[in-house]
Structure 1
Amino acid sequence: MMARKLVLPQADGSLQTYTAGPASHYASTAPIAHSRVAYAAAHVVLDTQSAQPNQIDWEATLAYRHHLWSLGLAVAEAMDTSQRSMGLDWPAASELMQRSLAAAKTHPGARIACGAGTDQLVFSADTTIEDIKHAYEEQCRFIEDAGGRIILMASRVLAARAQTPEDYMHVYDHILSQVAHPVIIHWLGAMFDPALTGYWGSHDLDIAMENCLAILQRHATKIDGIKISLLDAEREIAMRRRLPAGIKMYTGDDFNYADLMLGDGQDYSHALLGIFDAIAPAAAAALQQLDAGNIERYTTILEPTVPLSRHIFQAPTFNYKAGIVFLAYLNGHQEHFKMIGGLEKARSIQHLAQLFVLADQAHLLVDPDLASARMQATLVEAGITQEGAPF
């Protein structure tokens, strides 16, 4: 069946007629890549039939994790892509992790790591550094008791309470001395979460990096790697060249991931990316080419995904989750475009229309007719008529 012709609104107020091209040619399964470790930070699907607000559709949410595992990708669970601290609270996040860890045991080769933070702690004037340590302890213990590995997330309450870099050192010293297995440290920039401005004890990113590196050097045996999400390729390269031996750099740069993963002949980054949720089939195919040493084909696959990713992650960057979920909806992984907390309203219809075009140009629409029908329904709901288009 051929994709239908659509009339798409543009940012300048004009309309564009567009017809999607051929279906994605990427495979739905792939082996685990050996040249890079690649985590996809996975989204959650809202249960629109539940009487309870912000209830997760467990069947669809876990099915998406199996989709990612089938493509050889590891899952980064209960991270910001899952709307952690943007509608997904600690009770829901802990249930999500528990269910996903159980699901991973049923999927051969599945790899998963879970986000440990302090979001069960409500910040107030009375919040102490000891409170923050105990909150981190609770979540780390929960993950390890459930058989999971830890991604040590940046803490909003620590950013709010810490007065000096030594406060960060004190908290991370305490937690890293207790974990049973090496963790991934997560440095999330202010563009992803403004509440994390000044993390590591400085608004100057060069000083912040020095403070972070001091913690990594102090606890190198307890750290698998660090994910930085600063959308600054040069800063990431500078930091990965200074990492202690054995510590991986996991790029969280959804603007420059293709080049950062490829590397520069001296070193390279692994991946822990929200965009890998959306572009999983292309990411898996590119990693297979990288394993084979086919750099040209790796670049050819990922190059058209970069404009899509930059569009999804455009400012305000923290609203990127809407684009991730919309593409999952277009590709039939869920039956609706609704999100926890109503976040689907965070992006304009013009933004979603351009996302549709960029996803098509990146060869990511699995069924162009289904995707076009769903795009059309979204347009009509927004009041944009599709004259002559079949319903």
Structure 2
Amino acid sequence: MAPETKPIANMGLKAESSNAPVPADESSQTEETTLVSALSLLHQMHQKLALLRESIPHMVQPIMKASTYPTPETLFDDFSKRTLKASEDLVEFTKLVSDGKWVFDKATSSRRENGVEGGEVKRWKSSAPMPHYLKDIVDDTEGASRDKEAKKKEEEEKERKRLEAERSKERELEITEVKEVESEDVRRGIIDEFKKEHSDIELTPEEDGRILKVTIPKPVGLVFSIEIPQSAAETNRYIVTLPASSYLHVLILRSITTRPNAGSLKYLLDMIATYQTIYKTKCNKCNKLTQGPKADLPVIRRLKRTAKLVQKEPKEEGGSNKENDKMDTVGDDKAKDLNGTKPKIKTESKEQKLNEENDGAEDGAVELVEEFWVTLHEGCAA
């Protein structure tokens, strides 16, 4: 059985107040006795504190189980006894701490004299079983630490996936705008290339090369007149006219007049060529051919240029590059859309590029650049 509180406190006080010189053996024995007394006192404090942690649940238990008592008087009597017991335990613990103040003073002076690392004594982990109330606290702390670490890893994984998705997502590139008047040689090269790609569309220069007529054969049967800007002109814009014999012609001319990059002959000719399939190309947004009561076909054409980061497959010895094969296949599939119902009605597969991204792309990744025309109704483009 642990010694009583009072004798222990007195013993510690005597040990502290003793100033007379004593032999070395007696001094060591006195110090040991003092430490044992201090430990015993701390043990009592620990037990009392454990009881106090459970005093409130023990005290309110009658209220929680009021239905089990036969009469209200019995309930009140039990509650009063438990409350009185909790009060007595609190008074006893307070007195025990007050009598054992010398233990804490001795510990403070010991840290000051013998402590390391800034006057703090390293914590000593006892092999004794941990009290359940402390165990819950430690478990909660460790659990919170594990949850925090798991949450951090989860956030890092999400960020990594987000970056990968961002890199692999298609992004729209700006179309290089022609700001100067194109020279005769540049126009001649554009016209020759256009004739090779669209042999069924007729290009006829008139008025000493000042007018270029573009004729789309029937059933479309459109004839566009393009005024070539001169070197001394105030603007590099190619002005287009079209005989407005129907509401559809008005819509087409309005779309061409409001086109971007108006100083590029290549952009204009490619745009005009897309009207070859005007009677079977659906809107890229609503996926319908007509809209409204009139012959409101999707007449708006806008060139889009996109880039997408793709993983390049390794090149096998003695064979071709699989990535290039895959890119050609993609180009062929998109070329088939020209006469289909998909919204992308033109893809310049010859201009697809595989540019190594030395700055932003990872190893084994290449950038696929594609150009295609978007088709929209005027109402869908608004």
Q: TM-score range by the shorter chain?
A: under 0.3
Higher relative contact order (CA 8 A, sep 6+): 1
Which structure has greater helix proportion?
2
TM-score by length of 1: 0.21
Q: Could you say which structure has the larger radius of gyration?
A: 2
